Chain A
Amino acid sequence: MGHHGPTPEGFRRIPTWEVAKQPAERPKKPATPKTATKKTLHELGIVEVPDEHKVQAALERLHEQIKQRRSYMLAMESCVKCGLCQENCHTFLGTRDPDDSPVGRADLIRKVWKRYFTVQGRLFGKLVGAEDLTLETIQKWLAYFYHCTECRRCGHVCPFGIDTCEITMLGRQVLYWLGVVPALHADSCAAIHRLGNNMALTKSGAVDTLEFLSDEIEEERGFRVEFPVDKPDSDIVYVPSSADFMLNPDTLKGAALFFEYIGANWTITSRMIEAGNFGYLVDQYRTQRELVTRLLESAKQLGAKKIVWGECGHGWRAAKQYARTMADVNGIWHIPIVHIHDEIASYIVTNQLELDPSRITRPVTLHDPCNYARACGHVENMRIIIRKCVSEFREMYPNGERNFCCGGGSGVLFDDPEMYPMRIRFSQKKAEQIRETGVPDGPDGGILCAPCSICKAQFYPMVEEHELNVEVKGLLDLVGKALVFRGKETSGGKKW
């Protein structure tokens, strides 16, 4: 919870409508995240490519990557630069830096691609917008590809469906191989290779935390719910979201209460103990593959018939869309991977759950995490659940697939003095949206439901910076709170 420093002096929060009046200008030096130490890179098995070879290495990697993936190739060659994406991107709305808009960001690679790998670029150079690759450009990649939060709002609004997020993924992957990785991402990846998860959780620590949660439920509700870990012959493997073990205990409790309610034979696996997948954000080839492989292997080992995913945005996308194509396992195991929200929604529409909305009386607004709304289609299900769980639900606008990112997506959770103000600036649009709902104005404030660990980690400091009187919670928190255990519970606990 808020391991950030104080807001640096001279930094002022500027509303997006004020920013919009400023000219679109490139800053002299964009805010750049701090890069990883040699030691961490060694742990990941990479070495920073020396400067004199960097350009050549980057070109080789780019070429190899782009000709391997259709989405990369198409993003390189079918943009007309209409500029539609610009004002739909929260980073551009916050900074007015043309390179911080999807088209500008993509151009950082597109120019290079044109220059070296297309006929027109080789013949006409600058005339067609082709540019030589320089170390300066590589430095720009580091800045701008880690400003992008991979929210895909640009892909959603693009008339051609160009998924600019893929270019960010490409840029980050190439940078990773060059040994230019932000410390936060490299440390998380190193933790994955060392302990199998982003947060460097140990099994003993996790078990201890889960026991603590069992005790908490018992205190609040008067009955005990166990959190099985590595229980053999389980029907369901549940993968909780990463920060559930550190910052968001109510989310994990909510999931356990739901499984208890329906009487599921479930377990958490220590080999894939949390859902985050920082490999998906920087290194798909080794790190993301490691985790999706662990996921399928451990589900198979425990005899699971279905994998249920917790409240994690990017990890859910990494598993849902890549697990079957990327996992390094023999044969294809048809273990379906579903999201817990979808399952809960299916119980709610069939009227199987008794939920008491009067336990949550403060007004609630819902932030649609990008990966759910635009990449995985959970918009309606989240609303089906939230309407049944709370007394007063208020939409923020725009919402659903058109929602704006929290500003911290894809691990842009840097807290160094250069990047932290950027994060807050990126969330400017979000803060305006939340303020407009009126939820923070209540006498006791309100609840901001953000069912994704990165969103939560971004919102904890963000709501304070923007002075929003809201408590950040997940959706499972609300489900757990509202579930009525007849004959079992002695009380519903404190009202929210």
Chain B
Amino acid sequence: MVYFIGNVLPYITVAIFLGGLAWHLWRWTAPRIPHFVALSPFPKTWAGSVGFIVWQILVFWNILKFDRRLWVGAWPFHVAIGAILGGHVLGIYTLGTQFHMIFPYAITEALSESMSVILGKTFGIIFVAAGAYLLYRRFAYDRVAAVSAPSDYLHMFLLLAIGGLGVYMRFVPAASLHYEEARHFLAGLFLFKPEPLPDNPFFLLHFLLVQILMIIFPFSKLMHPLGMLWNRWVVNRPYEEPAMGLPGVQLVPPAGVMYEDSGRTIRVEHWPRFPVKGV
């Protein structure tokens, strides 16, 4: 069983994860978009469009603007996920010396490792606390509870279990697993020369739950980070309005000048100088 979880299941997991991801992204990209840009703020250029989407991703702008009580849970939660994922990749690959590698003269290897540990603990706690808050919110708001399915709670339980185990391993020396052991095991998997799982029940459980998460990821709402990008492309693509100015009129405003009023630029042109693009 341990052999299966440690050395067979990971390959199945990754196959399902990547296959599911690819299938869903194809399924999302194949249908056509029958209409032009749909929602404010109507960026006119690529830069404006990308800037808006990046801004949304970085600060969760809509949540911040419209629901602060959700934001105080959601934003730290996702920042912690980002940090933890990055920490896992860098920390395990460099054996905790990632900060030394970035600033070789300022940070010693030992300092880097202890930084890695402290940051890991901090973000782990943020992750669990914010996750618990989000879970509480789902129970406590009757309007949110009314639209929640069992899986909405289970996803959060799964994430909290994974995070909780991670934090536990960080804080309890007897349960912890050192970078070398983890790297040794993972390198075996990546190089198709599977090594036995480290003898640590907490790690076993942590590793198993992560695999379950990866298996259900493409088939659940956990796909939402990608869904956001695909959605925003539909509603926030750049779109150029036709220029102003009416054909065949006697009273014609001076053309080719940009007029600004209340933050909106209006481009007035004479007929028939309309840009074909966006017309």
Nearest CB on A from B221, distance (A): 5
Q: Indicate if A57 sits at the interface (CB-CB under 8 A).
A: no
Q: Is the CB of B28 within 8 A of A92?
A: no
**With A24-B142, A70-B28, A338-B244 in contact, is A261–B227 under 8 Å at CB?**
no
Instruction: Please name all residues of chain A whose beta carbon is closer than 8 Å to the beta carbon of B174 when the two chains form the complex.
Output: none
**With A81-B147, A160-B231, A161-B235 in contact, is A334–B223 under 8 Å at CB?**
no
Q: Is the CB of A326 within 8 A of B242?
A: no
Instruction: Please name all residues of chain B whose beta carbon is closer than 8 Å to the beta carbon of A152 when the two chains form the complex.
Output: 38-39
Q: Is the CB of B28 within 8 A of A81?
A: no
Tell me the nearest residue of chain A to B61, going by C-beta. A159
Nearest CB on B from A303, distance (A): 10
**With A69-B31, A322-B35 in contact, is A236–B248 under 8 Å at CB?**
yes
**With A127-B150, A129-B151 in contact, is A305–B221 under 8 Å at CB?**
no
Nearest CB on B from A135, distance (A): 22
Q: How far is the CA of A350 from the CA of B37 in the complex (A)?
A: 28
Residues of chain A in range 75-115 having any CB-CB distance to chain B below 8 Å: 75, 77-84, 86-88, 92, 96, 98, 101, 103-104, 107
Instruction: Please name all residues of chain A whose beta carbon is closer than 8 Å to the beta carbon of B148 when the two chains form the complex.
Output: 81, 129
Nearest CB on B from A87, distance (A): 8
Nearest CB on A from B149, distance (A): 3
Tell me the nearest residue of chain B to A119, going by C-beta. B219
Count contacts on A: residues with CB < 8 A to the other chain.
88
Q: Is the CB of A346 within 8 A of B259?
A: yes
Q: Is the CB of A81 within 8 A of B221?
A: yes
Q: Is the CB of A236 within 8 A of B247?
A: yes
Q: Is the CB of A127 within 8 A of B66?
A: no
Residues of chain A in range 176-202 having any CB-CB distance to chain B below 8 Å: none
Tell me the nearest residue of chain A to B149, going by C-beta. A129
Q: Indicate if A375 sits at the interface (CB-CB under 8 A).
A: yes
Q: Is the CB of B36 within 8 A of A162?
A: no
Tell me the nearest residue of chain B to A376, going by C-beta. B42
Cβ contact of A83, chosen from B27, B147, B224, B241, cutoff 8 A: B147
Q: Indicate if A67 sits at the interface (CB-CB under 8 A).
A: yes
Q: Is the CB of A377 within 8 A of B230?
A: no
Number of A-B contacts (CB under 8 A): 255
Q: How far is the CA of A213 from the CA of B4 in the complex (A)?
A: 83
Q: Is the CB of A77 within 8 A of B227?
A: yes
Q: Indicate if B234 sits at the interface (CB-CB under 8 A).
A: yes
Q: Is the CB of B143 within 8 A of A86?
A: yes
Q: Is the CB of A161 within 8 A of B231?
A: yes
Tell me the nearest residue of chain A to B251, going by C-beta. A262
Q: Indicate if A26 sits at the interface (CB-CB under 8 A).
A: yes
Q: Is the CB of A81 within 8 A of B152?
A: yes
**With A23-B142, A264-B249 in contact, is A157–B147 under 8 Å at CB?**
no
Q: Indicate if A204 sits at the interface (CB-CB under 8 A).
A: no
Instruction: Please name all residues of chain A whose beta carbon is closer than 8 Å to the beta carbon of B231 when the two chains form the complex.
Output: 71, 74-75, 78, 160-163
Q: Indicate if B191 sits at the interface (CB-CB under 8 A).
A: no
Residues of chain B in range 42-72 having any CB-CB distance to chain A below 8 Å: 42, 56, 60, 62-63, 65-67, 70
Q: Is the CB of B62 within 8 A of A157?
A: yes
Instruction: Please name all residues of chain B whose beta carbon is closer than 8 Å to the beta carbon of A26 when the two chains form the complex.
Output: 146
Cβ contact of A161, chosen from B39, B66, B244, cutoff 8 A: B39
Q: How far is the CA of A152 from the CA of B39 in the complex (A)?
A: 8
Nearest CB on A from B46, distance (A): 17
**With A74-B230, A98-B146, A336-B279 in contact, is A163–B34 under 8 Å at CB?**
no
Q: Is the CB of A68 within 8 A of B268?
A: no
Q: How far is the CA of A103 from the CA of B149 in the complex (A)?
A: 12
Q: How far is the CA of A124 from the CA of B215 in the complex (A)?
A: 14
Interface positions of B (Cβ within 8 A of A):
24, 27-42, 56, 60, 62-63, 65-67, 70, 74, 141-144, 146-152, 154, 216, 219-221, 223-224, 226-228, 230-232, 234-236, 241-242, 244-251, 253-254, 257, 259-264, 266, 268, 271-272, 274, 276, 279
28 pairs, CB–CB < 8 Å, chain A vs chain B:
A70-B31, A71-B231, A74-B28, A77-B227, A84-B67, A86-B143, A98-B146, A118-B219, A120-B220, A127-B149, A127-B151, A127-B154, A128-B150, A129-B150, A161-B39, A161-B228, A161-B231, A236-B247, A263-B250, A305-B247, A320-B36, A334-B279, A346-B253, A352-B251, A375-B38, A380-B263, A380-B264, A384-B262
Q: A262-B251, A380-B261 are in contact. List 16 more A-B contacts (CB 8 A).
A: A24-B143, A67-B30, A70-B29, A73-B31, A82-B74, A101-B147, A128-B220, A161-B228, A235-B246, A263-B249, A305-B247, A306-B271, A342-B244, A346-B253, A346-B259, A350-B253
